Amino acid sequence: MATDTGFEIPTFAGIVTRCHTDWDTRTAEDSRIPRSWQWGLVYVTAGVSYAVHQVARLVASQFVPDRTDADGVLRWGTLLARGPLAGTKAAGNLLFSGTVGVVIPSGTRLVRQSDQQEFLTTAEGTVGVGGLVAIASEAVLRGADANDVAGSESYDLVTPIIGIGSTAFPFFTIAGGSDAETTEEHRARVIDRLRNVPHAGAAHDYRAWAQAALETVDAVWVEKGVVAAGPPLGTGVPLAIRFTLDGEGAAVIPAAGDVTVVDDYIDARAPEGAITTALAPSSLSLDLTINPAAAYDTAAKRAAVETVLHQLCALVNASRYPDVSDPLGIKPAPGTALLYNSEIRTTIGLHMEQFVVTDVNADGTGLSNVPVAISQAIRVGTVTWV
C-alpha cells in the first residue's frame, strides 16, 4: 500500500507470500506446511520485516512537514522559530455598582452566570459619584469561549465585597479571546515559513513579522509609497503595513494598542533605512438585504449564511497580498480587491437554497460588485432579512 509520503509499504500478507517464495526457491523445501519449522520461521521473519517497514514509514513521514504528526509539526516549528500560538484571553471592562468610595481590588474573581467562565479584574477601582465604576478585567483561561461580544452576560462576584453589588456587567464588550492554534493551523504557518524564507525586508517578511507580533493578526498587506518601478521594498521607500485581526464584523479592525504592538515589532526588525508604519485599515462594511424563500427560511440557515459571509470577507482581505494565491480573481491590482456580486450570491447559496439579494451596500438593486481600496478592510456589517 502507498503511504502519504509516496513510499510503497507492503502488507503483512504480501511479505508472508514473498518469504514463502524466497524460502522455497532457495532451499527446495515447502514452507507452506502448517506448523512446520519452515512455516513458523517464515511468519516470524515476515512479522519482523513488517514492523521494520512500519518504522520506516513513520520516520519518512517525520521528514516531510506537510505529512508529519503533531509532535513533528511542533519540532519543525521550534526549529524554524514558529512555535504554536497559545491563544489569547478575552478582556474588557466590567461595570460594578456600589457605595461611593468603596475600593474593588485588583485580582477580584468573578464567574459568568451562563457558562461559569472565570474572570479577574486587572486593576483596582473605586466606586465614584453615581455609584458606578468600570474596571479592566480579563478571562482566567485563554479561548474564544470567553468572549462576550454583545456585552449581554452577567458576572457574579465569587467573594462578596461589602458595599458592592454582587453582579457586574460588561461596559460595552468583552472580546479578544482566541483559541489555541490547532495542529493544522500551526502546520500551515510552518510551511509558509519554509516557502517564504526571510530576506531582510522582502514583501512576505512584513506579513510574517506582523503575525509574529500579535497572535490574533489575520491578513496583512503592504502598500509601497512609490510607483511599482521604484526601489525594492525596504530601501528607503515608505511602506504602510495594514492588517486585520481574527474575528467577525467590526472586531477585525485592530485597535490603537494592536497597531502599536505590530509597529514596534516591525521597527525592531526592518532593514536599516526602511520607513515603515503599521496602520489599521479603514472599515468597509458589507451591508446586505436578503429575501429568502419561505420554504427554506430558518434561523439556523440564516446564522450559517452570516458565518460564511464573515469567512468570505476574511478570504478577500487575506488575498490582498501580492504573493497570496487569488482563486476568486479578486485582486484587480496589488493590495486592492473587487468582491464580485456573483461570489456573494454563491456564498449565500451554500446554505440558503432559494433567495433574492435586494440590496448590496444601499445600491437598491442587489446587483453591485464591491470594490475594496488598498486602505480598506472589508467586513460584514448589517445583514437584513426580509
* Per-residue pLDDT, 17: 94
pLDDT at 296 over 90: yes
Most confident listed range (242-251, 316-325, 351-360): 351-360
Asked if residue 129 and residue 105 are part of one domain, the reply reads yes
Asked if residue 372 and residue 322 are part of one domain, the reply reads yes
User: Which DSSP string do the residues of 181-245 spell out, in sequence order?
Assistant: PPHHHHHHHHHHHHHS---SS-HHHHHHHHHHH-TTEEEEEEEESS-TTSPPTTSS-EEEEEEEE
- Structure confidence at residue 59 as a pLDDT band (50, 70, 90): confident
CA pair distance 344, 362, nearest whole angstrom = 15
* Secondary-structure percent of the chain, ordered helix, strand, coil, rounded to 5: 35, 25, 40
CA dist list (Å): 241 to 120, 150, 220: 34, 30, 7
pLDDT tens-place string over residues 101-132: 999 999 999 999 999 999 999 999 999 999 99
* Per-residue pLDDT, 28: 87
Q: How many domains does the chain have?
A: 4
- Structure confidence at residue 5 as a pLDDT band (50, 70, 90): low
Average pLDDT in the 289-302 region?
95
Asked if residue 209 and residue 276 are part of one domain, the reply reads yes
Asked if residue 360 and residue 300 are part of one domain, the reply reads yes
pLDDT at 223 over 90: no
Instruction: Find cell 512455516 and name the residue.
Output: 39
1 falls within a domain = no
User: How many other C-beta atoms are found inside a 10 Å radius of the C-beta of residue 297?
Assistant: 16
DSSP tally for the chain: helices H, then strands E? 8, 16
pLDDT at 234 over 50: no
350 falls within a domain = yes
Provide the grid cell at 3.
503511504
Asked if residue 130 and residue 101 are part of one domain, the reply reads yes
Provide the grid cell at 289.
438585504
271, 366 Cβ separation under 8 angstroms: no
- Structure confidence at residue 58 as a pLDDT band (50, 70, 90): confident
180 falls within a domain = no
- Helices 183-195 and 70-79 meet at what angle, rounded to 10? 40
Q: Residue 128 sits in which domain range?
A: 91-175
* Per-residue pLDDT, 318: 86
Asked if residue 240 and residue 146 are part of one domain, the reply reads no
- Structure confidence at residue 230 as a pLDDT band (50, 70, 90): very low
2 falls within a domain = no
237-266 residues labelled b (16+ CB within 10 A) or e (exposed): bebbbbbbbbbbbebbbbeeebbebbbebb
* Per-residue pLDDT, 3: 53
* Per-residue pLDDT, 61: 80
- Structure confidence at residue 183 as a pLDDT band (50, 70, 90): very high
- The one-letter amino acid code at 264 reads D
Asked if residue 119 and residue 45 are part of one domain, the reply reads no
Provide the grid cell at 99.
457605595
pLDDT at 228 over 60: no
283, 258 Cβ separation under 8 angstroms: no
pLDDT at 226 over 60: no
182 falls within a domain = no
Asked if residue 214 and residue 120 are part of one domain, the reply reads no
Strand bridging mode 275-279 / 118-121: unpaired
pTM of the model: 0.64
User: Which DSSP string do the residues of 118-171 spell out, in sequence order?
Assistant: EEEE-S-EE--TTSEEEEEEEESS-SGGG-BTT----EEESS--TTB-SEEEEE
235, 274 Cβ separation under 8 angstroms: yes
Calculate the average pLDDT of the chain. Answer: 89
CA pair distance 73, 84, nearest whole angstrom = 9
Average pLDDT in the 34-60 region?
91
Asked if residue 125 and residue 52 are part of one domain, the reply reads no
pLDDT at 2 over 90: no
Asked if residue 269 and residue 304 are part of one domain, the reply reads no
Give the end of a domain, one of 175, 207, 234: 175
- Structure confidence at residue 330 as a pLDDT band (50, 70, 90): low
Asked if residue 271 and residue 226 are part of one domain, the reply reads yes
Instruction: Find cell 478585567 and name the residue.
Output: 137
Asked if residue 318 and residue 240 are part of one domain, the reply reads no
16 falls within a domain = yes
pLDDT tens-place string over residues 135-172: 999 999 999 999 998 899 999 999 999 999 999 999 99
85 falls within a domain = no
- Structure confidence at residue 205 as a pLDDT band (50, 70, 90): confident
Domain CATH number, residue 267 = 3.30.300
69 falls within a domain = no
pLDDT at 233 over 70: no
Looking at the chain, the whole-number percentage of residues with pLDDT higher than 70 is 91
